[in-house]
Amino acid sequence: MPWWFRGERKMGRITVLDQNMVNMIAAGEVIERPASVVKELVENSIDAGATKITVAVEEGGRKLISVTDNGIGMDAEDLACAFEPHTTSKIKTSDDLKGISTLGFRGEALASIASVAQIKAISRPKDQLAGNCLEIDCGTKSPITPCSADTGTIIQVRELFYKLPARRKFLKSANTEITHIIEQFIRIALANTTIELVLKHNNKDVYRIGANQGLLARISELFGADIADSLIETKSDEKDLNIIAYMGKPSIAATSNRLQYIFINSRFIRDKFISHAIKEAYRGAIDPSRFPAVFLFIKMPYEDYDVNVHPTKIEVRFFNANLVHSQILACLREKLLATDLDTMVKAPLDYETRMPSNTSQGMPRGQIAEAMEDFFRRHRPGNQQHMDFAARDPGLVTRNFVNEQPVSSIERRFMQIHDSFIIAENDDGFVIIDQHALHERIMYEQLKKRVRNSHLESQKLLVPESLQLSKDQLDTLENNSELFEKLGIEIVGFGPKTIAIQSFPVLLAKAEPAEFLKDVLGLIAEKGATLDSENLFDEVLHMAACKAAIKAGNKLTDGEIQQLLADKETVEGSGHCPHGRPTTIKFTLSELEKQFKRT
């Protein structure tokens, strides 16, 4: 007997559920929490052509959610119909499903909401002098009554889930619920810049957003100027795919995808192909465990994807997902490569607090500031009136200055400080370079370039290096023989648990072969299960670049510094190390002058 069968078998076990039960079950899918009600109601207002929408909630929406719009409204007949299940004005035949241009079409949101809360709906179409009012209490309708009303629609939803204690119990605190509502509101506000939008919580304004702002202005209003100022705009319009993207610089990448917003024809979606394209575009520019901030607005023919795959329509199915992936990747990647991602230091400059902390590895921030001040003093000897530090001798190494006339941008004056940082003059100021981070980036790009088509060039070790490996390590080695071949590491068996490295890549000459091999094996053991072979190899290259790069503390010759500066000009993404930390911080003369109170 199946577990669900109770009692004796008899005919007539199956019954048709009454309509309110059906609605309540549908509500389970569509209405998870107050934020889902906000989403459905506001989407209806947008579909109704509203140009102003006000959302007012109380106690995180648990007590009241009210949405007021100035859209086309409903007459008495439509109002009576709208809360019935499977009623919609948006599609009529199955053909309409092939190109849905409205946010709604399933005709179940209002019926679902009305089955689990107290509703009051007032609506008036433009061509009528009065409105109509309808009240519903968990599926039980009162008669429609005429009332005075502005044109448009107000829908109030009170005491969500009040007759379903099990569902109500799952609602979180008002604070948590309002956070979810704000998130829905933000998505709607980003997708509909022509609409004026207001969000109130417990009678206080949370957002009041004017219509027809540009996208960037909306982003700034919703996320703050710091985020908006760090965005790079890019566009493309090819193959029926119009893309506008605002890409965050690596410095604002987050630990989750909370700053990734993807819209298809003004509908917020989540999509694994697009997320992957974004990740690929930023590969090498940020740490692989972080998520870049990206606001991506895509317009494409409605017929080229299906929205009828998920009850809340947060997922779509692209008919040509590869095309969508490659267009987005190309658009974002091209822009990133063409952008100077050097970290800019803004005035007013407070050295101790504003300096990005990642750049101060191995050296207190105050020392960087001191070195910088010293550099500036030496180059502007006539202008010391504000420099109270001029008498101090920071004991800097100055022999690295090359004082010839600058010929090209790289033959400028430069110096190494504390054997860790390079200060180099440029056209409008100077830069401080983290020598390890920059060299790591250069190594990574060179390694990547060389392995793209073949394997790394290797050279025979004079004395093969033998080492003992555990059974697991040997297995890993055997299972990844192709990876080691590509790296240019040649290995031969030497005994049951001993192997010998015979050849090692020339580019990794700075690394210690046995130690490097063990580290690669460790990395594969740690990440091999979760990464595909391409990403795993990329991680290995990151590690190789780090090991082969000049370290902080290495004294460099003038020639080496010149080489670094020359490579910086030619290597892709040289503003950041492969983990996304800045390699370079810029200081412009005008900002310094402000800081030294010369202007």
Binding site for ligand ADP (CB under 6 A): 40, 44-45, 48, 69, 71-74, 82, 87-90, 104-111, 153
Residue 143 DSSP class: P
| Number of other CB atoms surrounding residue 329 within 10 Å | 19
Give the three-class secondary structure for 152.
strand
CB of 42 to ligand ADP, least distance (A): 9
177 binds, among ligand ADP, Mg ion, none (CB under 5 to 8 A by kind): none
Q: How far apart are CA 263 and CA 295, in angstroms?
A: 8
**What is the residue whose two structure tokens read 């079409």?**
105
300 binds, among ligand ADP, Mg ion, none (CB under 5 to 8 A by kind): none
DSSP string for 211-274: TT--HHHHHHHHH-HHHHHTEEEEEEEETTEEEEEEEE-GGG-BSSGGGEEEEETTEEE--HHH
Q: Decide: 214 and 71 in contact? Cβ < 8 Å.
A: no
Q: Decide: 189 and 207 in contact? Cβ < 8 Å.
A: yes
Give the three-class secondary structure for 131.
strand
153 binds, among Mg ion, ligand ADP, none (CB under 5 to 8 A by kind): ligand ADP
CA 220 to chain centre: 16
Give the three-class secondary structure for 171.
coil
| Number of other CB atoms surrounding residue 77 within 10 Å | 10
Give the three-class secondary structure for 61.
helix
Q: How far apart are CA 81 and CA 76, in angstroms?
A: 9
Nearer to ligand ADP, 39 or 62 (CB): 39
Residue facing Mg ion at closest CB distance: 104
Nearer to Mg ion, 181 or 501 (CB): 181
Nearer to ligand ADP, 90 or 283 (CB): 90
Nearer to ligand ADP, 67 or 274 (CB): 67
Nearer to ligand ADP, 115 or 503 (CB): 115
CB of 536 to ligand ADP, least distance (A): 45
CB of 40 to Mg ion, least distance (A): 5
Pick from 226, 236, 328, 225: nearest CA to 273: 328
Q: Which amino acid, one-letter code, is at 271?
A: D
**What is the residue whose two structure tokens read 């200055």?**
401
CB of 120 to ligand ADP, least distance (A): 13
Nearer to ligand ADP, 69 or 539 (CB): 69
Binding mask 18-57 toward Mg ion (x if CB under 5 A, else -) reads --------------------------x-------------
**Which residue(s) pair with 234 in the sheet?**
245
CB of 276 to Mg ion, least distance (A): 30
CB of 161 to ligand ADP, least distance (A): 18
Binding mask 75-104 toward Mg ion (x if CB under 5 A, else -) reads -----------------------------x
71 binds, among Mg ion, ligand ADP, none (CB under 5 to 8 A by kind): ligand ADP
Binding mask 101-140 toward Mg ion (x if CB under 5 A, else -) reads ---x----x-------------------------------
CB of 135 to ligand ADP, least distance (A): 16
Q: How far apart are CA 581 and CA 577, in angstroms?
A: 5
90 binds, among Mg ion, ligand ADP, none (CB under 5 to 8 A by kind): ligand ADP
Q: Which residues lie near Mg ion (CB under 5 A)?
A: 44, 104, 109
